[in-house]
Structure 1
Amino acid sequence: MLIDISTNILFCITILVTSLFIDRILNKKISWMVRPITRLIIQIVCQTFGALFVTIFLSTIYYIYGEYLIVVKPVDVGVREAVYTIISIVLWALMVSALNTGDFLLKNWKNATLKAAEYKVKAAESKQIAAEIELQALKLQLDPHFVFNNLSVLSELILKDQQLGYDFTENFAKVYRYLLVNSKKKLVTLQEELDFLDAYLFLIQNRMGDSCTFQIDIDKSKLSMQIPPITLQLFIENALKHNRTEEENPLLVKIYSNDNDELVISNTILPLIKKAYSTGIGLKNIVNRYALLSDRKVSIEENKETFTIKVPLIK
């Protein structure tokens, strides 16, 4: 025999460790997902030659120093025994490669199954949230109070200032056009949302006068970034709904960008004597939409003086 049982075990363990080492190196260099056939061929070749190298190296050590390591001196090996040994090594390398490949494919199959299930859940949630946002936009379009209030303001403006009445009509049309065109979209640029906001605030300020003040300070470098459509309108509507609006003590709403690629919407808290009924659907929809669109979360902070929302800007 070429080697005894203990030497056989040593050879097997060394070849196994070498094969696993080669597998780890190849995982960093050649992905199974990108080039599976190439990876399989290279892995078989590398592990086979690796096993041969280990065998030759250990055999050399064995024959040179064997007499010092064991009682019986190694005997010469014939050609047939050498061929059998090489074939055994190749088969061992192929078996290790097959086990590694099978383990990888099994793990990836499990991961793919889980990801597919998660994708289906997220897709269903995305459709539901998109439908709710679209419904929210539709409600605004059909809200009789919204329409009546703005038409009342328009009729007064036409009598007082025809140019201002014309401007009010133009902005009223812009608001509706934006809602019709963008309510089904997942994302719009911040510039588009701010253009819509400009028209929307024109209607509010002409309807409510000095009872609310808006301060907007957006870094121009952020304008090409994206947010879900109608986000700002929902937040402003939320601020107006849950706070008093008085000329003596106007509601202040600030909209600005920060260095963390976030859009910050903050308003002073002026509690109503009688709290307005709220389902919380508007804010919840925005939070849920961001959970599907980005890894970053919407931040909501509230203290005695201010209510602040930070929404991530998506690149």
Structure 2
Amino acid sequence: MDPLEDVLALIGVQSSVSAGLVAGGDWAMTFPPPVGVKFVAVRAGSCHLAVQGSTQRHVLAAGDCCLLTRRARFTLASDLSLPTADARTAFAKARSASPGDTARGHTSGSDRGADGGAPADGLARTGTGEEVFILGGSFDFGERAHALLLDALPPVIVVPAASPAARALDWALAQIEHEVRTQPLGAGLVAEHLATVMLVHVLRLHLTQDASDGGALPGLLAGLADPVVATALRALHAHPARAWTVAALAASVGVSRSTLAARFSRALGHGPLEYLTQWRIALAAQQLRAGNRTLASIATAVGYGSESALSTAFKRVLGTSPRAYLALTTG
């Protein structure tokens, strides 16, 4: 079993790719807080990035890519001291523009719409030139995403163009750019799938970096970076209904109980049985939403001997009973 793949499937990653952004000259654009995780990839030129609530500033050059993992406004600009335009206005114009009869892509001023706004290529524009081209999109997740994955990520993850990981990302980003610029049939669907590929590459990179520098925040990725904890996580994900004890799990990994408990706590911030409870409840919540199993069968499938045992654990983790949870999520 692949715990990262399990979690991404469980939390329901939905990717979306926005219109490309063409910019030049003096420009600054502020974006609203993303619902999930935002990605920004600079394909040509360079820009500055500032995220609300952080004093850190980033310079993104051609080939750089970053993930923004918090719900906070952010600004992209040639100069962060400039007055900012609202990104929503520019991207609304791009969405309303229909493809033109001429070749799409970086168009000149003569290709702009009759109202002087967005050109018919569907790209958003700001500033006075065209030397900067930026791809963007977002990843929306299910309600358990923060506890299972996002809380363990830093607010900004930057993948520099010079890094080995950027070369792996470049293929996916080049294909996304092609879909955004040329808009062939099915472009949106293809770009969304490619964006998910890009997300997995960035998470792999972050996992590898954390393993090498020891700077991971507690969470799933930190656990996967520890070979002992990763082996234990694979066992828990493969058999969540098993009556696990710390001793039995440690024996399956080939370490002592105290070693497993210490490494699990250091990597994830809590012990293996606490993680197992969270994972079982996440699985139970998913099966409840699917609506094709009884509560008793769900309890058995995730390792609880009765409905009442599942209900007790469910309420402890999510703060509500399974039936109340189902009523809330199904509206």
Query: TM-score under structure 2 normalisation?
Result: 0.22
- Pick the structure with more strand per residue: 2
Query: TM-score under structure 1 normalisation?
Result: 0.22
| Bigger relative CO (Cα 8 Å, ≥ 6 apart) | 2
